Structure 1
Amino acid sequence: MVTSLLYGSFLVIKLQSKDIAEAFLYTTSAQDLWEELATRFGESNGPMLYDIQKQIASLVQVDMSISTYFTKLKKLWDELAHLSPLPKCSCGLSKEMEDMNT
């Protein structure tokens, strides 16, 4: 369990394990702390991405109407886009790609 309080510019962390708390002693801001926590303990989207890609590849129309088939396919595409967004860059290319997709 992690609880944190922000006093002025100091972040106070109370963790169940002293070993874990010591690993974050030198974070300089709350944002750095949360990014470090997400990196260490966050879940990977890899298995979900694989599953969605597999569902897309195996989806066949068979007895579905075209609108039902497209709706199911669109739902999977939207989930895939949500889990693997375009990387952010400073050159503006990701903005152009995003505009093309909308």
Structure 2
Amino acid sequence: MAESTTSLSPEFDPRSPYYVDPDFEPNENFPKVILSQADDNYFTWKNLFLQFLRRKNKTGFVDGTVEIPEPSSPLYQPWEVCNARVMSWMMSSVSEDLLAHAAFADTARKAWEDLRKIFVPSVDFKINQLRRRILAMRQDGDEVARYFGRMKSAWMELREYDRLPECSCGGCRCEVKKRAEEGREKEECYAFVMGLDEDLGYVRTQIMMMDPLPSLDEAYALVNNEENLKNMFG
């Protein structure tokens, strides 16, 4: 005798994006980063918020993969509930000056796009902004670790918008991506060492004379070691 299986309705199925959690709490395990224009922290906020939504299986409500059901559909009511919850989470994670963009949008998807346009009005604009920020970045008396963190974060954000070219030859014999990656790593290393304080200038010279040039992470390890020795022996 065949076993019978019972399929759960989407709003009761934890695997479904329409799942309506009966234990819903607005700030449960919520990311601690608040989106703010003053902090210009959209990249960090976006990634943390998406991680939070993945844990809730609700990313589709902001990336557009969960579409609005017809009002006559049995999915419409759970969609309304889930959409409202995502918008509630969003409103709890933005600064007061951005609250209206999340509060008065019709859907979480619309609120998500409105916030994105504030910080990334166009990809070309953002690439230009990030490159200027990287060129102007200096250690300015910070610990090397803190300076490296600022530099690393800026390059990670740039990689999201200024993606390296992909090989299109089929067999990848042209090494386009490899050469592009090598070029980007040189850019990262040069930007990092050129922004070091003058008391670490000798390390900068050593790194720039290395062949091949180290990656950003490798350059940081070398500089951080020198800083530790300098602090230890004065």
Q: TM-score, normalised on structure 1?
A: 0.49
Larger radius of gyration: 2
More strand by share: 1
